Amino acid sequence: MFRDSLFSQFRLFPHLYRIGPLRSGKSTRGWSTLFLFGEDRLPFRLHTGTRVAVYQQFADFMNAVFWMDEYKNTIDPQRMQSLKTA
């Protein structure tokens, strides 16, 4: 199911979170999911990327998986607001 069809009906879209201890397969699942969409891309590291880079990454994807790596509760509040609109 694509984001636009879910969002138009329910006004929300679920985000998939991978949480667990080190070496539990979170990144492997991320890579596997990305490969379903064909293009090999590195995950975007939320705590080190610039604000402009975040928006450029969002602009590259529509109805596809976007992998944001290393989420932490200490990320920039403006970046958090942009994630809410993703």
| Tens of pLDDT, residues 36-51 | 777 677 777 777 777 7
The pLDDT, as a whole number, for residue 2 is 65
What tens digit of pLDDT does each residue of 68-84 get? 777 777 777 877 777 76
pLDDT band at 54 (very low <50, low <70, confident <90, very high): confident
Instruction: Tell me how crowded residue 47 is: count the other CB atoms within 10 A of its CB.
Output: 13
| Structural domains in the chain (count) | 1
**Residue written as tokens 């991320």?**
30
Plot region of 23 (φ>0 → left; ψ -120 to 50 → alpha; else → beta): left
Domain extent for 39 = 3-84
Report residue 6 as tokens: 């879910």
User: Which H or E element spans position 68?
Assistant: strand 68-69
